[in-house]
Structure 1
Amino acid sequence: MDPKDLRVSDAEREHVGELLQRAVGQGMLSLGEFTERMDTVLAAKTRGDLNQVLVDLPGIQMRPEYLPQAAPAFLPQQQATAAAPAYPATGPGGPLVLKGRLSSLTRKGRWEVAPVLRLDTFASSVNLDFTEAVMQTQVVRIEVNDSFSSISILLPAEATADINGVETVASSATTRVRGGAPFGPLHVVVVGKIFCGNLNVTHPFGMRLRKFINGA
């Protein structure tokens, strides 16, 4: 089989997306051109599809492990390795890591929230509902490293939030939740970087409606 006809993985799509981000930073692509090429990347099925978005970018090269090469022969005696867990935690009391690639990540109900939560996402839909969550600490730090995703954070009544530590590039970050120093049952601090995505921190719609009616 011709190497350019080999199927690509989500990791390869993500890597090419990172290369296109670098090209934008170096002034080789406009944001409009970047968006068009990312549409091609996300729809790519073969390595030939991926290569076409990089051929005219000097100095932008894929890492060796992602370069087209002949597929290895299958050896019956080889055993498949176990896949890494989709949402690994670093251990009791450590950060909770949520990782998604072209995925939908949802946490709601009575899920346990670590003091530090790390989002490592690419082209995903992320919904974190804290309204019934079980907290270990009053202050929760959410560290974001994201590209092309939509992140929604839903907080209970009297919760506060601070998103001043979020760096946005061709993105939006909005909050409808009171800021300032923590004084209620939960204070969420969001930091990190979002590239071509959006972050929204809010209360449930019914709670916002009641506040509006009561003039709060």
Structure 2
Amino acid sequence: MGDRDMRVSDVEREHVGRLLQRAVGLGMLSLGEFTERMDTALAAKTRGELNSVLVDLPGVRLVGQPAPQQFTQAQPAYAPRYAPGHRPVATPGNLIRTRMSSVRRQGSWQVPPALVVESSMGSVHLDFTQAVMSTQVVEIHINATCGSMELLVPAEATVDMNAVDLIGSSVNTKVRTGPPMGPLHIIVHGTLRFSSITAKHPFGTNWKRFLNGA
């Protein structure tokens, strides 16, 4: 039996799903392509079927082991955008810096694909509910000391804060965490020192869902 015919497990399907999610974050796949490939990955029974959703993605290396019990999942040969230590290039258009003060972005503000937030004893409030988006996936790199950041997102948005390094800090997620199935997916990474991040919906969103039968 060849490697392509080996049966795959749910763990391996979920790992490939995470690779596809990273590919969306890197701009390799559109939301429609992500959904189609996720359907294929979830239905895959063999290694060949599972790897078929990854073979055309640059920087993804497919690795196999000879014995089925040592089967190695597909491993990314690239560092994801939100890997520890990675930081987008800060420019005047994507840098938010606050020291002992507060910054608010709300209304129809232009959201770049990546934001760099540097906060020292300050607060940052980012309201995405009426913002003008240039991409479906937005990356936020934060470096905060004794500060706070609040993300206000639309009802169908998802937020991933799993890659934030916490030092005496807290992360409070009151929204869906992913994968990016809606109009907006925010990936937050970086370091918090005695700081906090909260992601939530506008007041009354859950009640509206309840009343609409959602």
TM-score (norm 1): 0.55
1:105 counterpart SS class: strand
- 1:205 paired to 2:206: no
CA-CA distance at 1:181 after TM superposition: 1.4
CA-CA distance at 1:209 after TM superposition: 3.1
Tell me the equivalent position of 2:110: 112
CA-CA distance at 1:213 after TM superposition: 5.7
1:156 counterpart SS class: coil
Tell me the equivalent position of 1:96: 94
Aligned residue type for 1:134? V
2:207 counterpart SS class: helix
1:210 counterpart SS class: helix
Distance 1:212 1:148 in 2: 37
* Worse-superposed segment, 139-148 or 173-182: 173-182
2:172 pairs with one of 171, 174, 190: 174
Deviations 1:26-84 (A, max 9, x none): xxxxxxxxxxxxxxxxxxxxxxxxxxxxxxxxxxxxxxxxxxxxxxxxxxxxxxxxxxx
Query: What stretches of structure 1 of length at least 5 have no aligned partner?
Result: 1-88
Aligned residue type for 1:159? A
Distance 1:141 1:186 in 2: 11
Deviations 1:105-150 (A, max 9, x none): 0000000000000101100011000000000000000000000111
Tell me the equivalent position of 1:140: 138
Q: Could you tell me whether the CA contact under 8 Å between 2:178 and 2:185 is conserved in 1?
A: no
Distance 2:106 2:182 in 1: 20
Aligned residue type for 2:137? V
Deviations 1:81-100 (A, max 9, x none): xxxxxxxx726xxx600001
Tell me the equivalent position of 2:51: none
Larger Rg: 1
Tell me the equivalent position of 2:147: 149
RMSD: 1.7
Distance 1:111 1:170 in 2: 32
Name the CA shift for 1:214/1:113 in 2 (closer, same or farther; >3 Å).
Answer: same
CA-CA distance at 1:174 after TM superposition: 1.1
Tell me the equivalent position of 1:192: 190
Tell me the equivalent position of 1:130: 128
2:126 counterpart SS class: strand
Structure of greater relative contact order (alpha carbons < 8 Å, 6+ residues apart): 2
Distance 1:196 1:212 in 2: 36
Tell me the equivalent position of 1:164: 162
How many residues were matched structurally? 125
Which of structure 1's runs of 4+ aligned residues deviate more than 6 A? none
Distance 1:147 1:209 in 2: 35
Query: What stretches of structure 2 of length at least 5 have no aligned partner?
Result: 1-89
1:200 counterpart SS class: strand
1:137 counterpart SS class: coil
Distance 1:212 1:176 in 2: 16
TM-score (norm 2): 0.55
